[in-house]
Structure 1
Amino acid sequence: MIFTETKLKGAYIIEIERIEEERGFFARTFCRKEFESHGLNPNLVQCNISYNKKKGTLRGMHYQIAPHEEAKLISCIRGSIYDVIIDMRSDSLTYGQWMAFKLTAHGLPRTAYFKMLYVPESFAHGFQTLEDDTLVFYQMSEFYHPESARGIRWDDPMFAVQWPIHDKIISDKDKSYDNWVAKDKTR
């Protein structure tokens, strides 16, 4: 696997290394030793899948607070997404900064697909689908704990995330989140 750290310390784009032959290819998508060698949380305790019927579906921005903070390994296994992370670590040099990545399950160029995004603990995460019938696969380092689940608004002016599709499909729950500036930053 090829690990490339982003400008948000601890967040990585991970690409597979294909062993190709006449039948197709074989590749590793996870290796505890490689994750540990890059200082990443290798404990995967739960896997989730998100099916999204329509292009423009926006899910986020989600995170869990202590003691149940979670790292996520995100991949798109059908369709494509605009995947967004926000550094919520108040002691980080990149606190409040966001980045977006296109993850896709198909297509050309070959370098655009079979990428995963490693999202460290204390980052908010969300995505918007770029195609109908998109599937997103999550591997989580912590179990879901409803009492620790939190979110911030997808359109919070503090972060000013630029979403690619104007007509968004958003759940009532995601619409109900407060802006970060209105929150106690220790939560």
Structure 2
Amino acid sequence: MIIAPTAIAGVWTVDAEPFADERGLFARMFCAEEFAAAGLTVEVAQCSVAYNAHAGTIRGMHWAAEPVRETKLVRCTRGALLDVIVDPRPDSPSYLRHVAVELTADNHRALFIDAGLAHGYQTLVDATEATYQMNVPFTPGHDRGLRFDDPRLAIAWPLPVSVVSAKDRAWELLPPEPAGVGSAPAGVAGAGA
């Protein structure tokens, strides 16, 4: 596996190094020792799957509030999606910035997302499925979110939005930035960033 940091602290890409032969391929997708060597602790307490029937579907932008310290390892197992992680931590140097990484069933890439970071994605094709491995079970009452279309985030979703849940449409927009105050601009980094 190749584990690499992105432009936001706490977000790592995880790429398979497949062995290929006439049968197809074989690749390690998780190794506790390799994650530990990269400084990442992955303890799996819950696994989930999200199936999305239509291209353009958006799920997100979600995270769990303190004291819940939810980390995620997200992978696309069918189809393709653009995964976006936003940094909502006001004291972070990357506050309100985001990284976007294409995850597909064919590229076998995953993302490790540390606690406190907002996560969401848009499906790029119909019948897309994503799997999540989380270190803690879902904790009702601690879920938080950002609007996927908040102008302050400036996320450039690649497709017209086809489906979004009522809950994800209901997250409040961030307050407008005060005149003369410049927070770090939102930005998108590519798949290897």
Same fold (TM > 0.5): yes
Following the alignment from structure 1 to structure 2, what is the Cα–Cα distance between the partners of residues 14 and 95?
23
CA contact (8 A) 1:41 1:141 kept: no
Structure 2 partner of 1:114: 108
- For residues 149-171 of structure 1, what are the alpha-carbon distances to aligned partners after superposition, in whole Å with 9 as ceiling and x for unaligned? 11111111221111111233111
The more displaced of 20-29 and 157-166 is: 20-29
Structure 1 partner of 2:183: none
Residues paired across the two proteins, number: 176
CA contact (8 A) 1:63 1:69 kept: no
Query: Which residue of the other structure, out of 143, 149, 174, is the alignment partner of 2:168?
Result: 174
Residue 33 of structure 2 aligns with an amino acid whose one-letter code is: K
- For residues 72-97 of structure 1, what are the alpha-carbon distances to aligned partners after superposition, in whole Å with 9 as ceiling and x for unaligned? 11110110001100012222211110
Asked whether 1:63 is paired with 2:57, we answer no
What is the CA-CA distance between 1:53 and the residue it aligns to? 0.5
The more displaced of 126-135 and 13-22 is: 13-22
Asked whether 1:141 is paired with 2:135, we answer yes
Following the alignment from structure 1 to structure 2, what is the Cα–Cα distance between the partners of residues 145 and 22?
45
Structure 1 partner of 2:93: 93
What SS class does the counterpart of residue 169 from structure 1 fall into? coil
What is the CA-CA distance between 1:50 and the residue it aligns to? 0.3
Residue 9 of structure 1 aligns with an amino acid whose one-letter code is: A
- For residues 107-134 of structure 1, what are the alpha-carbon distances to aligned partners after superposition, in whole Å with 9 as ceiling and x for unaligned? xxxxxx0110111111000001000111
Following the alignment from structure 2 to structure 1, what is the Cα–Cα distance between the partners of residues 124 and 112?
20
Q: How does 1:156-171 map to 2 (within 5 A)?
A: 156-171=150-165
Structure 2 partner of 1:13: 13
Q: Where does the alignment leave 5 or more consecutive residues of structure 1 unmatched?
A: 107-112, 183-187
Following the alignment from structure 1 to structure 2, what is the Cα–Cα distance between the partners of residues 180 and 30?
36
Is the helix fraction higher in 1 or 2?
A: 1
What SS class does the counterpart of residue 174 from structure 1 fall into? helix
What SS class does the counterpart of residue 141 from structure 2 fall into? helix
**Moved >3 Å (runs of 4+):** none
Structure 2 partner of 1:150: 144
CA contact (8 A) 2:51 2:130 kept: yes
Following the alignment from structure 1 to structure 2, what is the Cα–Cα distance between the partners of residues 69 and 179?
24
The more displaced of 127-136 and 33-42 is: 33-42
Give the TM-score taking structure 2 as reference length.
Answer: 0.87
Residue 109 of structure 2 aligns with an amino acid whose one-letter code is: K
What SS class does the counterpart of residue 146 from structure 1 fall into? coil
- Give the RMSD, CA atoms, in angstroms: 1.3
What is the CA-CA distance between 1:138 and the residue it aligns to? 0.7
Following the alignment from structure 1 to structure 2, what is the Cα–Cα distance between the partners of residues 168 and 125?
19
